[in-house]
Chain A
Amino acid sequence: MNARAQRWLAPRRAQALARFVLWSLMAVAIGILILILAFVLGRGLRHVTWTFLTAMPLDSGRAGGVLPIVVGTLEVTALGVAAATPLGVGTAIYLVEYTREGRLTRIIRFGAECLAGVPSIIFGLFGFVLFVLTLGLGWSILAAGLTLAFMTLPTLIRTSEEALRAVPARYLDVSLSLGATKWQSIRKVLLPAAFPGILTGLILGIGRAIGETAAVIFTAGSSLPHRIPRSLSEGTRTLSVHFYQLAREGISADNAYATAAVLVLAISLINLGAYVTLNRFMRRYR
């Protein structure tokens, strides 16, 4: 080995250098991410008032509040998660309890992984063709909710699968030995035991659905609602879409910051909730 290189990059020196570089890079990365959070909340929270949350938007969003937008967002999100839950949990139950690892599970897992990687804009195109046009739902809460259901499906499958695998395998033995069928065992013992973990997936799905823009803009439309949506077949504008319009069109910086703050705060709390739930759950079975 080259003597000079050895002197310059003696293990101890390399160690110190690597530590320094890596720690600095990490500080930069985490610093950026935290700055974003601080920036948005710092500029936006002071504009988030009770009136802002409970008033109708006025003048294209320049004035007034976001009430119908919040309601529309909640409806789209709730519909999405409600539709995704049976699919996701059912898939997880099948993967964990009803089948051996093999070609079929590989196909199912590969499908879910690919779905997780499909960009949201593609989901937007798909939802637009399938729900808005082909099924004739029009730009509507229903079309957006169903599109989001497909988007959140992979998260839900993964977390539910992990949750079911974390339940002690012996519960199934015990339940079967007490005269339950397999399905009764799943329903009465395994699912309740895995519930907190499944809940984590639901919460993460909610977070993703609330923050979604590209898929929603093509399925729920983007026109500003002037009343609280009365049915699922009405179009709506979600918080993210509203924020996008405010920011991109330069309509109102204050209201853009305020909307961003609501969005970021809601999603951070939701994700924090998911994390805490998961941690409790995993600790229980460790």
Chain B
Amino acid sequence: MSAPKVSIRQLGICYAGAPAVRDVDLDIPKNAITAVIGPAGSGKTSILRTINLLSVDVDRAEVKGQIRVDDRDILAGGVDRVDLRRRVGMVFATPQPLPGSVYDNLVYGPRLAGTRRRADLDALVESSLRAAELWDEVKDRLRRSAFLLSGGQQQRLCIARTLALGPEVVLLDEPCSGLDPISTFKIEEMMRSLRDRFTWVLVTNNTKQAARVSQRTAFVLLGQMIEQGPTGQLFTAPKDPRTGDYVEGRFG
């Protein structure tokens, strides 16, 4: 494996003094899909939300350890949050369109980043919608409210909205929870086709989904990293018995 895009060392996360994640190490390779699995409450989302520092700014988490993105430690302080979040985009568990039209949602980030010209914005809207395989479905209703789309479409809109930032890393927090199997399938297809263009981190409750789309999988339990490795190996020959129990559905 070449140098990882994101490398996490000794990460600890506390909320109001209560530890949620302890001593987690995790390497996230460039231009691949890394899945993080584990039962509910194991700290997966906390880890994910710390990679773009949302946990620190919004949840008031106290963090320690290192998270290197391209060899720059983002926990060391002095990091421009805005710049970081443009490079490390995030998609949330339930579709979260902002109030406004489909178009408004897509240009929200680029406008803040300083893209003002109409033609540039239009081009960006089309390319990111195409990347999220949503263009054909919504091209005639860009001006309609984003809330009028179906749940699956809303989630792909949220992915397109993140892609419109031109990120290097895309964090997905259980992106398919609450979606029907067909929508889930479409999102997985999209991730596969865009795999080489971004570094993906997929947090999921669904071990089968991790097995289907990811190249690398990490298993977290009770705030600790139990095991990580190539997805095939982790699912077929886990080193830790708890990993085997979990992926085969014996608990969790």
Contact = CB atoms under 8 A, between A and B. Distances in A.
Q: In the complex, A touching B, CB below 8 Å? A: yes
11 contacts: A173-B92, A176-B54, A177-B89, A177-B162, A178-B89, A178-B161, A178-B165, A179-B82, A179-B113, A184-B112, A189-B98
Given A100-B60, A173-B54, A178 B108 contact: yes
A171 B85 contact: no
Contacts of A182: 57
Interface of A: 100, 168, 170-182, 184, 188-189, 192-193
Interface residues of B, number: 25
A184 B162 CA distance: 17
Given A177-B85, A181-B82, A171 B58 contact: no
B57 A176 contact: yes
Interface string B57-74: 110100000000000000
Contact of A175 (B52, B98, B162): B98
B99 A177 contact: no
A140 to B, nearest CB: 42
Nearest to A97: B58
Given A100-B60, A172-B58, A173-B54, A178 B96 contact: no
Interface in B40-98: 52, 54, 57-58, 60, 81-83, 85-86, 89-90, 92, 94, 96, 98
B4 interface: no
A177 B86 CA distance: 7
A226 B108 CA distance: 54
A239 B109 CA distance: 50
A171 B165 contact: no
B112 A177 contact: no
Interface in B89-120: 89-90, 92, 94, 96, 98-99, 108-109, 112-113
A175 B82 CA distance: 11
Contacts of B108: 175, 178, 180, 188
A180 B89 CA distance: 12
Interface string B173-206: 0000000000000000000000000000000000
B96 A174 contact: yes
